[in-house]
Structure 1
Amino acid sequence: MLLAVNIGNTNIRFAVFKSETDIITWTINTKPYRTEYELYAKFSNMYKPFGIDKKEITGIVIGSVVPPLTISVKIALQKIHKLKAMIVDRNTPSEVIRSSNQMGTDLYANAVAAHYKGVPGKKIVIDFGTALTFLGLDETGKVTGVVIAPGIITALNSLVGNTAQLPTIELKAPENVLGRDTESCMQSGVVYGFLSMVEGMIDRINKEVGEECLVISTGGVGGIYKPLTDKIDIDDRLHTIKGLRILYELNKDTIN
C-alpha cells in the first residue's frame, strides 16, 4: 500500500491507497511546526484508529508547500517504515508541461491528476484551500496559467479577526442571499460572494481559452460550493493527493 502525504499550509493530509479507488484518508493541523522527533511520536500511533497495519505500507510519497516541514516529515516517516520516501515537486517528470518555474507542488499535482484523468479537452482545476486557486490545463497537458486569490477560510478568519463584533460562523449557504441577522449576512457574503467570483472566473477563463472547460474542484470546502452551481462538474477532495500518487507511480523506479 502507498502512503501519500500532502503538506499544506493549513493541514497535512495523509492517504493510504489500498488501491486506486480504495483510499483511507485523514488530516492533522500543519501548525504548530514540529520537530522530526515530535512528528515521529505523533505519526507512530496514527494508523491504529483506521485499522491500518503500518507494516503493509510499501511506498511513501510526499508533496509539500511548507519547506520547513518537508524534511522533518520525510525523516519521521522513514524511521517508522524503514522505507525511502519520495519527495515530488514541480520538477518531477510527467506529461504535464509547466508554464512557470514558480509553480507550487500542490498546483502541479492538481494539473497531473487532471491530465491523467483520461477526459479529453481543456480543464480548470479550482482548489479551495488556504489560497483559492484556478489552474488552466489544455488538452495536451500544458498548464495555460494560474489564478491565485485569498482562500475562503483565510478571508473569513481575517474578517472575524479584524472586526470587533463579527462572530465566528458555520460555513454553509444561508436560505436567502439578503441576510436578516449577522450570521446569515456573513454566510451570504462568504458563500454566495465567493461563489459569484468562482462562477465569474470560470466564465472568464472559458472565454479566454475559447472553450467550455471541464471544471474540477478540490480542497477543504469545495464540497460546500459544488451543489450551489452547475459550473463545477466534479468535486474531489482527494484530487491533489491523487496527483501525488500518479507522480509516484510514474517515477518510483528512480528511488535509490
Structure 2
Amino acid sequence: MLLTINIGNSSLRFGLFNNYNLKCNCSWIINSQPHRSLDEYIWLFRNIYQQYGILSKLIRNIVIGSVVPPLTNIVEQSLYEIHKIKPIIVDRYSASPIKHYSHQLGTDLYANAIAAYMLYNKKTTLVVDFGTALSLTCIDKHGNLQGVIIAPGVNSSLSALIGNTAQLSQIELKKPPSILGKYTEKCIQSGIIYGYLSMVEGLINRVNKELKTNCLVIATGGLSHVYTPLTKKIHLKDKLHTIKGLNILFHWNK
C-alpha cells in the first residue's frame, strides 16, 4: 500500500491507497499544533495504525508533500523509524503530467492541479481549497496551469475577528438561520459563511469571464463540506483531492 501525507500549516492529512489506485482505503487528519518531538510522532502514528487496524508492514511506499519544511523532516524521520522506508518528498519541481512555470507554487496547489487534470481533463477545472488559506487553482484541459488565487482562510479570519472582539467565545462555523442576524454569534456566522461564499462565487464568475469558459469547480479542504451545499457554483466536493494528487506525483517520481 501507498501512504500519502499532505503537511499543511494547520494539519496533516494522511491517506492509504492500493498501488495504482486512486480510491482511498482510509484517511485521517491530525493537528500540526502543538509541535511534537520525534518520539511523540512515532507514538502517535503507531497509535493511529492500531486504532484503524492498519498493519504497518503492508505499507510499502510513502510520499510526502509539504508546505512546512520544519515539519517535513521530523515526519519523514518518524515514518522511517516505523517502516524502515525512505519516503519520497515531492514538490513543485517534481515530474508530473502538467505544465507550469512557477517557482513559488505550493506543493498542495501543485497536487490539486495534477489531480484535477488527471481526473477531470475534459474541460478547464478550478479547484477551490478551503484550507488554512482559501485558494483557487485553475488548470486547463491541456494540462497548462492557468493560475492561482490565494486569500486568507476561513478559520484564520474567524480567529482574528474573535481574538480582537471582547466577550466572544468560539463561534461555530455553520449556516445561520438568516442573512441578517440579531445576536452577535449569528451576525458573525452570516459574515463568515455568506461573506466567504459570496467571495468564492464572485471569484468563480471572474475566472470564467477571464477565460471565456465555464470551469468545472471542485471543492476540497477541511471546510468544503460547509460551503458546497450552499451554492450551485461548486459542482463536486472531494476532501481527498489533494492527497490523490500526491498519489499521482508518487507514481510519476518513484
- TM class by shorter-chain length? over 0.9
1:8 paired residue number: 8
Judge conservation of contact 2:15–2:24 (CA < 8 Å) in 1. Answer: no
3-state SS of 1:243 partner? helix
TM-score by length of 1: 0.95
Judge conservation of contact 1:99–1:144 (CA < 8 Å) in 2. Answer: no
Which residue identity is paired with 1:72? I
Which shows bigger deviation, 133-142 or 108-117?
A: 133-142
- The alpha carbon displacement at 1:168 in A equals 1.2
3-state SS of 1:231 partner? coil
Which residue identity is paired with 1:7? I
Identify the match of residue 68 of structure 1 among 67, 70, 84: 70
**In structure 2, how many angstroms separate the alpha carbons of the residues matched to 1:89 and 1:118?**
22
- The alpha carbon displacement at 1:22 in A equals 4.0
Aligned residues: 252
2:122 corresponds to 1:126: no
3-state SS of 2:126 partner? strand
1:182 paired residue number: 184
1:173 paired residue number: 175
Judge conservation of contact 2:121–2:142 (CA < 8 Å) in 1. Answer: no
Identify the match of residue 224 of structure 2 among 222, 225, 247: 222
Identify the match of residue 200 of structure 1 among 199, 202, 223: 202
* Structure 2: 5+ residue stretches without partners: none
> Cα–Cα, structure 1 residues 231 and 183, in superposed 2: closer, same or farther, change >3 Å?
same
3-state SS of 2:174 partner? coil
- Write out per-residue CA displacement over residues 96-150 of structure 1, whole angstroms, 9 at most, x where no aligned residue: 1124110010000000110100441111111100100011111111111111100
Which residue identity is paired with 2:12? I
Judge conservation of contact 2:220–2:239 (CA < 8 Å) in 1. Answer: yes
**In structure 2, how many angstroms separate the alpha carbons of the residues matched to 1:204 and 1:118?**
21
Judge conservation of contact 1:99–1:142 (CA < 8 Å) in 2. Answer: no
Which residue identity is paired with 1:142? N
Which residue identity is paired with 2:89? I
Which residue identity is paired with 1:20? L
2:144 corresponds to 1:161: no
2:90 corresponds to 1:88: yes
TM-score by length of 2: 0.96
- The alpha carbon displacement at 1:17 in A equals 1.5
**1:35-114 → structure 2 map (5 Å cutoff):** 35-114=37-116
3-state SS of 1:198 partner? helix
CA RMSD between the two structures: 1.2
3-state SS of 2:172 partner? coil
- The alpha carbon displacement at 1:162 in A equals 1.1
1:213 paired residue number: 215
3-state SS of 1:170 partner? coil
- The alpha carbon displacement at 1:81 in A equals 0.5
> Cα–Cα, structure 1 residues 195 and 25, in superposed 2: closer, same or farther, change >3 Å?
same
Judge conservation of contact 1:126–1:218 (CA < 8 Å) in 2. Answer: yes
Which residue identity is paired with 1:110? N
**In structure 2, how many angstroms separate the alpha carbons of the residues matched to 1:114 and 1:139?**
9
- Write out per-residue CA displacement over residues 13-56 of structure 1, whole angstroms, 9 at most, x where no aligned residue: 11111453242111111112223233222222220111111111
